[in-house]
Amino acid sequence: MTLPLPRATITAVHGYVPPDVLTNADLARLVDTTDTWITERTGIKERHIQRGEGLGTSHMGAEAVRGLLAKTGTKPEEVDLLICATTTPDMQFPSTANLICDMVGIKNVGSFDVQAACSGFLYSLTIANQFIAAGTARKVIVVGADKMSSIIDYTDRATCVLFGDGAGAVLIEAQNNGYGIMDALIRSDGSGMIHLHQKAGGSRMPATAETVSKRLHYVHQEGAAVYKFAIAKMAEVAGEIMSRNNLRGEMIDWLVPHQANKRIIESTAERMGMPMERVMVTINKYGNTTNATIPLSLWDYEPQLKAGNRMVLAAFGGGFTWAGVYLTWAYDGAKAAKLNGNAPQRLS
């Protein structure tokens, strides 16, 4: 009997959200908005904010990785590679992945950041898949983490209601049990930059007193254009993944979409023929955590997941970027959560 070829397989997931919660009522005291307005337009009720001097994206990522190592009994020296998808690195260099490795005791391995805005986590899964397929890595950790509160203008009603902070991490291993990443697509279109970007802080416009005073270091978003492109491209990449793998909506157990806006999630699901009861939705309690939205969703829903579940993961991000991944889940999530006592919770 011929055994299935080894595939890059998610064998564990863990998440972290900081303890401080920013509710819609809190935001209504900062800008001209209401809980009703935010909820109806975005689906968000609250988001978590990383507070504390000197705390960056790496600190949240490290918490997620520590939990991942603990729940799987994986030693730091067993990890071959760590990739961090982030739009809010602690600093230009060293990479946030490098900092996370140092914090959790992972040494002498490759580590690097991936910047593809909100699609970065799926880009990183695709890269990890290649390392596993090539046989150059056996255990890869992929982290999605962002401290969006560091680049959000809390006087801008259009953006400040959308984003939160958080991190999620998955362990990826080569397994030949028939489960794992079956297909992946990554796409981009740089002409979308004008609709969603951060104007200052890079080499094109380095930080100056003037750029700070003009508030150019915050997220700039043209909501209507982004909304239209996000729905079209997330549905497009998910549809292409399904077509390439002869899948129909009723054959998919879970749609795992990037959590940017509940209306975008609902529209994407409708175009895919997916009922909302099979769509992961966490935007109500975490907001848009950018690269953390998909791993946080997997962590949140882990107790409901069963070995063999077919999933389509889809994301869209600034730039523009978009990506899709088709995978089959490899383990009984309820059993893993019970054994490890790690049902989703807000960690301090």
Own/partner contacts of 245-251, CB < 8 Å, gap of 24 or more, are: 245/182, 245/183, 245/326, 247/310, 247/312, 247/326, 248/273, 249/273, 249/274, 251/310
C-alpha count within 13 angstroms, C-beta hemisphere, residue 322: 21
Active site annotation includes 288: yes
Q: Which of 288, 291, 309, 342 is catalytic?
A: 288
Active site annotation includes 160: no
Find the distance separating the first CA and the last CA of the chain, reported in whole Å: 50
Active site annotation includes 217: no
Distance CA 93, CA 101 (A): 14
Q: Which of 24, 101, 258, 291 is catalytic?
A: 258
Asked if residues 182 and 326 have their Cβ atoms less than 8 Å apart, the reply is yes
Question: Radius of gyration (Cα) for the chain, nearest Å?
Answer: 19
How far, in whole angstroms, is CA 81 from its chain's centroid?
A: 18
* Ordered DSSP codes for 131-142: HHHHTS-SEEEE
Q: Which of 118, 160, 261, 291 is catalytic?
A: 118
Hey, which residues are catalytic here? 118, 258, 288
